[in-house]
Homo-oligomer: A and B are copies of this chain.
Amino acid sequence: MKLSTDSYKGVRDFYPRDKFLHDYIINTWSQVCESFGYESYNASILEPAELYKSKTSDEIVNEQTYTFEDRGGREVTLRPEMTPTVARMIAARQRELSFPLRWYSTPNCFRYERSQRGRLREFWQLNADICGIAHHDADVEVVLLAWKILTAFGATEADFEIRINDRRVFEHIFDEVGIDAGTRKSIMSLLDRRAKIDTFETELASLAGDKAKQLMQLLDTAASNPLLEDLRNRLVALGVTNIIIDTSIVRGFDYYTGMVFEVMDTAKENNRAIAGGGRYDNLLTLFDADPLPTVGFGMGDVTMKDFLEIHGLIPEYTSATDLMLCVLSDDATAFADALALKLRDTDVNVAVNYSYKKAGDQIKVADKKGIPFVICIGSKELEGDTVTIKHLGSGNQKEISTDAIADYIVTHEL
């Protein structure tokens, strides 16, 4: 019976060139987070299913999680998001950890959903959180961090914009208009879909009745709220000019309690959020732990890759291998092995080609793999003190002593 070579539906195989781009995304996220003093953490993708039942959105838990019973009868979920895990880990050691705490991770997460552009069943997601700061300072920092990450990928401020809002502004308006608690949630959900639907006004009227008009007036003027203006002004002072107060930003998760924000791609063909987050000060209370003011955000690898493609920001592939030694006859193998071992100790990454094919065929393999330099080793090289190194990109070649190879490669690449 023939086995299929297809991967499971909705997930990806990362061949070396895919892996290169994926690593580029993960490493850029990590480097910028570390430049802001964020520490890296991780956890297993397997979590007890109950972790998601109270705070993750109902749609995700009921329709989109991978949840199953293990062989011991325990209900397990493949994490659909990282926030419940980070809350669990902090709650477990709240007394030992020192605050402010800055943590980031780049986990893979799983959602059972129909595959479509920007959505896969397995995706990687940057999660960055600062905990222990109730002050606006932390809101400023997290938005700045998201902005700095986009610019680290080479994006300009024309490529994206940051839209900010504050959950407390809604609550204040709801209080003023007199909307009851149950209806608030439905209105928030409707506001979240505002840009995507045509029936916004009729749906709002059916929820808010004769209060709809006043509600919209207050929401439309909320942009001049002092909370949001202070946040925007501080970011502008730090050089973030593509920031917009947008009172239609809600964010789906129930756990947000203050500032919320989304980073939007400005490209017309990809007009959607590429990152989002906000303040959630109550998350630890699930674990009976002391409340902990927290601001954080997430950014996915699939949407990030789409963003980089649309804006021409995909980096050129470069092989991690510097040099291929092409062995031309089996009496040259020991020489090539010993030379490779010596070069590796001087930080040159060396592959040896043991196919014993013709020099031209071996060089073609190096070229196809993107390996920049080749040296052929045959009887001539065994007898003399020198080898000929060739740079495949330029066609340059030079006869040099084996001691000079490492320097030649470093210099040539400059």
Contact = CB atoms under 8 A, between A and B. Distances in A.
A3 interface: yes
Nearest to A110: B46
A68 interface: yes
Interface string A283-320: 00011110000000000000000000000000000011
Interface residues of A, number: 103
Contacts of A216: none
Interface string A345-384: 0011111111110000000110011010000000000000
Nearest to A17: B39
29 contacts: A3-B51, A3-B286, A5-B89, A5-B91, A5-B287, A7-B47, A8-B74, A13-B41, A13-B44, A15-B93, A16-B40, A16-B41, A34-B321, A35-B349, A36-B344, A37-B352, A40-B320, A45-B122, A63-B71, A98-B365, A99-B355, A132-B355, A133-B354, A137-B354, A138-B354, A141-B337, A144-B337, A144-B341, A234-B337
Contacts of A121: 46
Nearest to A321: B37
A54 interface: yes
A-B complex: 7 closest residue pairs judged by Cβ atoms = A37-B351, A11-B44, A68-B68, A5-B92, A16-B39, A137-B354, A14-B42
A19 B40 contact: yes
A163 to B, nearest CB: 21
A414 interface: no
A135 B98 contact: no
Interface string A22-56: 11000000000011111111111111101100100
A410 interface: no
Contacts of A13: 41-44, 89, 92
A226 interface: no
A153 interface: no
Interface of A: 2-9, 11-16, 19-20, 22-23, 34-48, 50-51, 54, 63, 66, 68-72, 74, 76, 88-89, 91-93, 98-100, 102-103, 108, 110, 112, 121-122, 132-133, 135, 137-138, 140-141, 144, 148, 234, 237-239, 286-289, 319-321, 324, 333-334, 337-338, 340-341, 344, 347-356, 364-365, 368-369, 371
A238 to B, nearest CB: 6
Contact of A88 (B5, B76, B353): B5
A344 B103 CA distance: 17
A350 B35 contact: yes
